[in-house]
Structure 1
Amino acid sequence: MSKGRNIDSIPFLNCKDYTVSGEYFKLQKHAVYEMLVTTPVPANLGEYYKSASYISHTDSRKTFFDKVYQIVKNYALQQKLSLLNSFKTTTKSILDVGAGTGDFLSVCKRDAWDTLGVEPSAAARGAAAKKGIYLKANVSEIKNQEFDVISLWHVLEHVENLEETIKRLKGLLKPDGRIVVAVPNYKSNDAQFYKEHWAAYDVPRHLWHFSQKAIHKLFSEVDMIVDKTVPMKFDSYYVSLLSEKYKNGKSNPIAAFYRGYVSNRTARRTSEYSSLIYVIKNQ
C-alpha cells in the first residue's frame, strides 16, 4: 500500500480547530478510499494536543463535559472488557495503542489480562504510571512479541503513517488474534447534521475520517477482514454536546440529546452510528 495522502483537490469541508488554535483546516476526499483527509498537517502537530480541555489524556472532572465524559468512560471500559472476553482466547495478552492515562489497561489487568500499552504523550504516560500502568512511547519499541488482541480506541484517526501502522500492527498479532479499532464515522446522522461543526472531526488532531468501506478496504489490503462491527451508541450524545457548543457558542444539552437520539435511531436502519468498533482478524 502506498496511497498515503492521495486526495482530490476540491475541499469537502472547512473545519475549525475549536480546542487549541482556532485555525481552519480542509477536509478533502481521499482519491482511493472512501474517507476524508485533514490538510494541511501541521509540522508541529504535537503542539495541537497541548490543551487542558483535551480530556482524552486527563482524568479531569472540572467541567460539565469532563463529568459526562468520565461517567460514560467508566461504563464503556466495562463494555470494552466484555468484548475482549467474548473472544475466548486460550491466553489473554493485549496491546493497547494510544493507551492514554491507562484506564482501559487497568481494567484489563484486574481481569487477569497480560497488558502492554503504547502512548506518545509523556504527561499521559506519567498519569498511567501513578496507576501502576507503565507504557511505552512508540510501537517501534515492541520487539519479538505477539498479542491475542491489539486495541486502538479512537486512535487510528490520529496516526500519521496510516498504512505503515496497519502493517506493523498485523505483524504484532498472533495468527488467530484480533485487532479492535474504534473510530468516528463521518457517514453518521450527527456528522451530516452538524457538518463542519461536528466535534469528531477534531482537526488537526484527527488526520483521517473513516467510513465503513474505508476500514474494510484498508485492512483487506493486508489480508485481514472485518469480522464484526459494534456500535458505540453513547458517542452520538457526547459528540453532539460538543458540536452544539461549537455550532451555537453555548451548550444545549436538550438539543444535543435529541440529535444523539435521532442519530442512533437512524443508524438502526443504516448501521451508520456516530462511532463504530471494528473487530478485525486475519483472512
Structure 2
Amino acid sequence: MQCRICGSEGVHRTYTVKEMMMGQLEEHEYFQCNQCQCLQITTIPSNLGDHYPSNYYSYVAPNSQGGAKQSLIRFRDQYAATGKNVVGKALQLLSPNAKLTTLRPLKLTKDSRILDVGCGAGLLLHSLREVGFKNLLGLDPFNQDLIQYPNGLRIEKRDIFSETGQWDVIMFHHSFEHMPEQQATLKKVFELLAPNGTALLRVPTVTSYAWQHYGVNWVQLDAPRHLFLHSVESIKVLAKQCGFKLDNIVYDSNAFQFWGSEQYEKGIMLRDNNSWAEHPEQSIFSAAQIKEFEKRAQELNSLNQGDQAAFYLRKPS
C-alpha cells in the first residue's frame, strides 16, 4: 500500500472500522502510514454519496429567531469570531460558539472575503452574515440544491474546482477529511487565495489521546465518510507539497471524543435512541459526567492532545 499523502510504500498497520453513526455496521479497512502517520481508508467506496442521508447533521438549516434572543446571539457570535463586543464576551462564557472562536486568529474584518467549502447548510457562514460580514460564499456538492437565505447568504451546490474568485480565507470545517483529492483540493485553494491568504483546516487528528486510547472505537474515525485522519506530520507534508506555510495549530476538541467513543465501545450507535446526541435523558451518561468529559477535553487541548484541531496554512506573499 502506498500512502496517498507522503507516498511512503511498505507495510502499514491496518484496522477494521465499522460504520457506527447511522448504525449500518459496514466494515471498512484503514491503514496508518508508518512515515507521516496519516490514517486513511484503504479503498474509497464508489457509493460514498449513499453515506450522506438527508438527515446528516451538516444539512440542518440555521434556526432563525427574532427579537431579543437573536440580538444576544449576534453579540455572542461577534465576540466569538472577532474578540470584540463586551456583552458578547459574557454570553460566550455562558454559551460558547466554539466553531466561530477558531476564526479569531485570522483577524477578520467585515470586508474579509471568506469561502467555506463543504459547509452543508452553512450554519457558520449564516452566523457571520448575521453579524455583518458581507463577502461570504459556501460550497457543498452534496446539498440538494442552491440555498439562498433571506439575509443574502448563498450556499451553492458545487465543489471548489469550479470556483474562480479570489479569497482572503478559504476554510474547511470538518469537511477536508471527507475529500478524496487531498493534494488537488489544497492546490486549488492555493490558487484561489490572495497573497498572505489563509487556508483553515479544522479536522480530527490522530495526534491525539482519543485515537491512542480508543483505537477503532474512536468516534471521529467515522468510517467511511472520513477518508483521511491526519497527523500533525501529515498536515506539514501536505502543506509543503502545496506551497503553504503552517502558521499555527489550535486544538479545539470537546466532550464528544469521550462520550461518543465510550458509546461505541458499548455498541451504542450515534443515532440510537439512548445516545447522548439523540436523547440525553435516556443516555448512559449523566450531565455531571458530560461536564467532566468537557473538562478533560480542555486539558487535552492545552497539552496539544485533543482529537481535533484547527490548522492555519498561509499562502506566502
Q: Tell me which amino acid in the other structure corresponds to 1:34.
A: Q
Q: For structure 2, which runs of at least 5 residues remain unmatched after alignment?
A: 64-91, 269-282
**In the alignment, which residue of structure 2 is the partner of 1:141?**
162
**In the alignment, which residue of structure 2 is the partner of 1:248?**
266
Q: Shift in Å at residue 83 of structure 1?
A: 3.9
**In the alignment, which residue of structure 2 is the partner of 1:278?**
311
C-alpha change, 1:240 and 1:73, in structure 2 (3 Å) is farther
User: Hey, which of these two has a bigger chunk of helix by percent?
Assistant: 1
Q: Is 2:196 aligned against 1:164?
A: no
- Structure 2 distance, partners of 1:130, 1:267, is 35
Q: Tell me which amino acid in the other structure corresponds to 1:244.
A: E
Within 5 Å, give how 1:169-208 maps onto structure 2: 169-208=189-228
1:27 aligned to 27, 30, 39, which one? 30
Q: Tell me which amino acid in the other structure corresponds to 2:101.
A: Q
The residue matched to 1:43 in structure 2 has which SS?
coil
Q: Shift in Å at residue 156 of structure 1?
A: 1.1
The residue matched to 1:135 in structure 2 has which SS?
strand
- Structure 1 distance, partners of 2:37, 2:149, is 41
**In the alignment, which residue of structure 1 is the partner of 2:136?**
115
- Structure 1 distance, partners of 2:307, 2:154, is 31
TM-score, length basis structure 1: 0.82
**In the alignment, which residue of structure 1 is the partner of 2:86?**
none
Higher mean alpha-carbon deviation, 237-246 vs 151-160, is at: 237-246
Identity of aligned residues (%): 23
2:50 aligned to 47, 50, 55, which one? 47
8 Å contact from structure 1 (residues 188, 267) kept in 2 = no
Q: Shift in Å at residue 116 of structure 1?
A: 1.1
**In the alignment, which residue of structure 1 is the partner of 2:148?**
129
8 Å contact from structure 2 (residues 190, 243) kept in 1 = no
Q: Shift in Å at residue 256 of structure 1?
A: 5.8
Q: Shift in Å at residue 222 of structure 1?
A: 2.0
Q: Tell me which amino acid in the other structure corresponds to 2:98.
A: A
8 Å contact from structure 1 (residues 16, 23) kept in 2 = yes
Q: Tell me which amino acid in the other structure corresponds to 1:48.
A: H
**Number of residue-to-residue matches in the alignment:** 264
User: Hey, which of these two has a bigger chunk of strand by percent?
Assistant: 1
- Structure 2 distance, partners of 1:120, 1:181, is 18
Q: Shift in Å at residue 121 of structure 1?
A: 1.7
The residue matched to 2:58 in structure 1 has which SS?
helix
Q: Tell me which amino acid in the other structure corresponds to 1:276.
A: A
- Cα RMSD (Å): 2.9
Q: Shift in Å at residue 49 of structure 1?
A: 1.2
1:265 aligned to 299, 307, 312, which one? 299
Q: Shift in Å at residue 248 of structure 1?
A: 0.8
2:247 aligned to 216, 223, 227, which one? 227
Q: Shift in Å at residue 246 of structure 1?
A: 1.2
- Structure 1 distance, partners of 2:148, 2:258, is 32
8 Å contact from structure 1 (residues 190, 260) kept in 2 = no
**In the alignment, which residue of structure 2 is the partner of 1:68?**
none
